[in-house]
Amino acid sequence: MKEIKKGTTYEEIVKGISGEVIYINPTDSVTTINPFEILNESEKEDALQRRVADMQQLIKVLKEESLTDVEENTIEKILLSKETHTVRSFYQDLIQLKEEGQEGLTFLIQFCKSMLGE
């Protein structure tokens, strides 16, 4: 898995999924970007499906190998369960699924911990 370090650039990862790099002033502690946020309400369903696909692709790039069926299905299940998510809420949903006995979540949990700087 590619390591995500706080304060480093995600440019290589973003380009790997044909994304657009957004530059933010590093001294601005108020501005944040939520990768789960949906901006276009009129196309909510299509946008949500795109977000699921985008998140699966992002995690696949970071994992540097294909996602398992369990990982793909879990990402979809969690993202479709609510209109918006944060990395923290996604992580909490993963932990709940793990506590309920779902297996195959180790990589996704580690991914979220890395994104959260834990």
Which pTM does this prediction carry?
Answer: 0.60
Query: pLDDT tens digit string along 42-84?
Result: 566 677 778 888 888 888 888 888 899 999 999 999 988 887 7
Q: Which residues contact 49 (CB under 8 A, 6 or more apart)?
A: none
Q: Which residue has the higher pLDDT, 80 or 10?
A: 80
Among the listed ranges 4-13, 70-79, 87-96, which one has the minimum average pLDDT value? 4-13
pLDDT greater than 60 at residue 38: no
Other C-beta atoms within 10 Å of 73: how many? 13
Q: What is the pLDDT of residue 6?
A: 63
Cβ atoms 34, 54 nearer than 8 A = no
